[in-house]
Amino acid sequence: MPNLRWQRCDPKTIQLLGNVLARPQAVKQDAVEAILLRDGQMIEGAASNLFIIRGGVIHTKAASLAT
């Protein structure tokens, strides 16, 4: 799902409203989690952090790149 948190200006909040709204959409599609995308890159889960294990090494987004 696209990460729309900073693209919407109608909700006057900087909280995780976009994530909260994405979660029920994922459940309707029989998914456990919604993975949010920005510029084609996986950013985070709606209610979880994102980790990938590749070649026995755990990868996650660097804190400095999270925003």
Continuous H helices in 1-67:
17-28
Q: Would you call 61 exposed, middle or buried from its count of C-beta atoms within 10 A (0-12, 13-18, 19+)?
A: middle
Active site residues: 12
